[in-house]
Amino acid sequence: MRSEDTADSPEGGPAVGWNARLGESADWFATADALGDELVPELADWCAVHVRAGVVEALRAGAAMPLAELSQALPVPGEPLEMITLRHRDPEREPVIRHWAAEVPLHTGDAYGAGRVTATGTSRFLPQVPDGMLQSVVTDRDQQSNFQRFGVASSIVVPLCTSDGAVLGAMTLIRELESHAPFTEDDVHAAERFAQSAADALDSSRIATVTGEPALPDAGLRRMATWRPRQPRDAGVSAEGRAWARQTLPALLNREPSPELADDVDLVFTELISNAVRHGGGLREAQLADLGRHLRLVAVDNDPRRPAIRTRRADQPHGRGMHLIKAIADRWGTYRHHAEVGKRVWADLLVGDA
């Protein structure tokens, strides 16, 4: 499993030497995750990082040289932007905003926001976001109402450009009405310094990721069964996956299971699949694997960002999934490989006594 490293920000805000603190061993995914952790909530309420499709293609193709030396070094008009990070100060809101933001397509050369900054290489600073700006960026009426309820008050968008001139995309910082004071020019300068450091870190971590030996998430694997749903984003996928697991489990195991294993599989598999459907862009496939003493449950989705674990609250009907998995599973984690779309979230359950 790839590491889920984060970096601590030194006193005084995001550091120019942040990429050095991550270390050469950090991979692309850990670096992308750490971007928002570094800035939220210290500098902003939200942090969204978008990179160009060409940068993602270089990662998946295993290009092991600096982006400046590749044909994808500079943006192409109309090139799609992919959101690799979104962090929000409120863990309850973050998964919801992730879903909304993923539904708003961005392209290089858009009139506003990350698309414009990626194309021009010039930061955009709005100490006060005009009322009509949201309608210009988010054209869907339902999405407009979703974003309006969060009270976007002030924004900074800075380009992600490496020190050798390659353009990765853009980083957006947002403050809300109810928390921080509006951004200042000093905040813009701090964000620009951090963005170049972050761009260099992403580029070097991409090379480290494609040249390093990937971790083996299935060490000790004996037998495995795979199921692919016909409708990956349908709400009924969880029930279908649970039924498949019940049918498959007896033939897969090589030892007598504990009396509670079937119920634990029902609960954990349901949560893994539900998270993939709700927050991971759909369930690509589900797996059961016999590891000997453990049974591994895997949900493969379309979103490489690590799962957002919310603060547990009794008055919230949702958001308990990862807490439930942590409580029942003997161990769990996230595996991401540069050549794959999305991620694999896995959980191991003890089968029974040896």
Q: Is the pLDDT of residue 176 over 80?
A: yes
Q: What is the CATH number of the domain that holds 40?
A: 3.30.450.40
| Coil/strand/helix, residue 192 | helix
User: 204 or 311: which carries more pLDDT confidence?
Assistant: 204
Mean pLDDT computed over 204-221: 79
E strands, the chain, where?
46-52, 80-88, 106-107, 124-126, 152-161, 167-176, 223-227, 283-290, 294-301, 331-335, 344-350
pLDDT of residue 21: 54
Distance (Å, rounded) from C-alpha 28 to C-alpha 26? 7
Distance (Å, rounded) from C-alpha 120 to C-alpha 112? 11
From the list 117, 165, 95, 150, the residue with the least C-alpha distance to 305 is 95
Does residue 117 share a domain with residue 254?
Answer: no
Q: Tell me the angle at which helices 141-148 and 94-102 cross, rounded to the nearest 10 degrees.
A: 150
Distance (Å, rounded) from C-alpha 55 to C-alpha 70? 10
Q: With bands split at pLDDT 50, 70 and 90, how would you rate the model's confidence at 169?
A: very high
Greatest distance between any 2 Cα atoms in the chain: 65
Q: With bands split at pLDDT 50, 70 and 90, how would you rate the model's confidence at 153?
A: confident
Distance (Å, rounded) from C-alpha 31 to C-alpha 4? 9
Does residue 184 share a domain with residue 135?
Answer: yes
Does residue 184 share a domain with residue 253?
Answer: no
Compute and round to an integer the Cα radius of gyration of the chain. 21
Proportion of the chain above pLDDT 90, given as a percent? 60
The residue from 211, 231, 253 where one domain ends is 211
pLDDT of residue 71: 94
Does residue 251 belong to any structural domain of this protein? yes
Q: Which domain holds residue 324?
A: 223-350
Does residue 342 share a domain with residue 245?
Answer: yes
Distance (Å, rounded) from C-alpha 295 to C-alpha 257? 10
Does residue 8 belong to any structural domain of this protein? no
pLDDT of residue 2: 35
User: 135 or 46: which carries more pLDDT confidence?
Assistant: 46
Contacts 24+ apart (CB under 8 A), 284-287: 284/228, 284/232, 284/341, 284/342, 285/226, 285/227, 285/228, 285/229, 286/226, 286/227, 286/228, 286/229, 286/241, 286/244, 286/245, 287/224, 287/225, 287/226, 287/227
Residues 29/209, Cβ–Cβ less than 8 Å: yes
pLDDT of residue 76: 96
Q: Is the pLDDT of residue 48 over 70?
A: yes
Does residue 233 share a domain with residue 198?
Answer: no
pTM: 0.82
Does residue 270 belong to any structural domain of this protein? yes
Give how many domains the chain has, as a whole number.
Answer: 2
pLDDT of residue 284: 96
Does residue 218 belong to any structural domain of this protein? no
Mean pLDDT computed over 133-152: 63
The residue from 178, 211, 244 where one domain ends is 211
Span 59-79, pLDDT tens digits:
999 999 999 999 999 999 999
Mean pLDDT computed over 84-93: 86
Please state the length of the chain. Answer: 354
Distance (Å, rounded) from C-alpha 23 to C-alpha 7? 10
Span 123-132, pLDDT tens digits:
999 998 876 6
User: 354 or 183: which carries more pLDDT confidence?
Assistant: 183
Q: Which of 231-235, 261-265, 303-307 has the lowest mean pLDDT?
A: 303-307
The residue from 211, 237, 260 where one domain ends is 211
- Write the DSSP symbol of residue 282: S
Does residue 150 share a domain with residue 120?
Answer: yes
Q: What is the CATH number of the domain that holds 310?
A: 3.30.565.10
User: 163 or 136: which carries more pLDDT confidence?
Assistant: 163
Does residue 315 share a domain with residue 239?
Answer: yes
Residues 207/231, Cβ–Cβ less than 8 Å: no
Residues forming a β-bridge with 347: 297, 332
Does residue 239 share a domain with residue 342?
Answer: yes
Q: Is the pLDDT of residue 134 over 50?
A: yes
Q: With bands split at pLDDT 50, 70 and 90, how would you rate the model's confidence at 7?
A: very low
Residues 54/76, Cβ–Cβ less than 8 Å: yes
Proportion of the chain above pLDDT 70, given as a percent? 80
User: 314 or 300: which carries more pLDDT confidence?
Assistant: 300
Mean pLDDT computed over 327-345: 92
Does residue 190 share a domain with residue 41?
Answer: yes
Q: With bands split at pLDDT 50, 70 and 90, how would you rate the model's confidence at 281?
A: confident
Task: Tell me phi and psi for residue 286, to 5 degrees.
Answer: -125, 150
Q: Is the pLDDT of residue 305 over 90?
A: no
Residues 229/276, Cβ–Cβ less than 8 Å: no
